[in-house]
Structure 1
């Protein structure tokens, strides 16, 4: 089963971390990528730029409305993901606990829609 592990960032928390804590998070990602690459569970992973680089596109009355910035102004935002393929949901949850950001913010574990996955 494929799962997306969505990493959320809270800039108020991140801004209070020491440089050593930040380096620990970065090294934790390197170690985690190595682990799930070796296990064959990693499909892809990418970090995202900060919300200040976002453009939001909407169609209203058949007219595009394009605005700079994220859809919602929040303290937490989606900052990256791991797309994994593992045997069970408990394994996906166990992997999510290994993502270093979980120590400071949230990791959302969401199955991908497939013929055997839960419906909308």
Structure 2
């Protein structure tokens, strides 16, 4: 089963990172490399990425066939999506175990969500599309 693991940064996690020395930051990044290598070795990591700053966000809104875009995050919120993992795990318990091992987990909020796939709960034949 696939699971999307979302990593949300917040003011506390950003201040922890900002207060770290260069050596501590390098050690934190090495922890991610080791974590990713471990997941690659087990075959559980499909992809993971760090996201750019929320200020670089663009929203696309389509209403009545009109397309508009806006800059920046839509809502003023404290937690912003900072990165993600897409995992292939045998169970939800395993996905939760992996999420708890994310190096940033002690400072961030981690969300684990099952991926439904194309058909999800919808009952139809893909050949009919």
Structure 1 segment 32-43 matched on structure 2, within 5 A: 32-43=35-46
TM-score (norm 2): 0.81
Residue 114 of structure 1: how far off its partner (Å): 3.2
Any conservation in 2 of the 1:12–1:75 contact (CA below 8 Å)? no
Q: Tell whether the 8 Å contact from 2:12 to 2:107 is kept in structure 1 after alignment.
A: no
How many pairs align? 119
Q: Return the offset for 1:13.
A: 3.0
Q: Note if 1:18 corresponds to 2:42.
A: no
Partner residue in 1 for 2:52: 49
Secondary structure of the residue aligned to 2:75 is: coil
Larger radius of gyration: 2
Residues in 2 aligned to 1:107 and 1:24: alpha-carbon distance in whole angstroms: 21
C-alpha separation in 2, matches of 1:18 and 1:110: 31
How does 1:1-120 map onto structure 2 within 5 Å?
Answer: 1-16=1-16, 17-19=19-21, 20-114=23-117, 119=121
Change (3 A) 1:111 1:5: same
Supply the distance in 2 between the matched residues of 1:40 and 1:79 (Cα, whole angstroms): 23
TM-score scaled by structure 1?
0.86
Counterparts of 1:106 and 1:23, CA distance in 2: 22
Q: After TM superposition, what 4+ stretches of structure 1 lie above 6 angstroms from structure 2?
A: none
Q: Distance in 2 between matches of 1:13 and 1:34?
A: 24
> Where do 5+ consecutive residues of structure 1 fail to align?
none
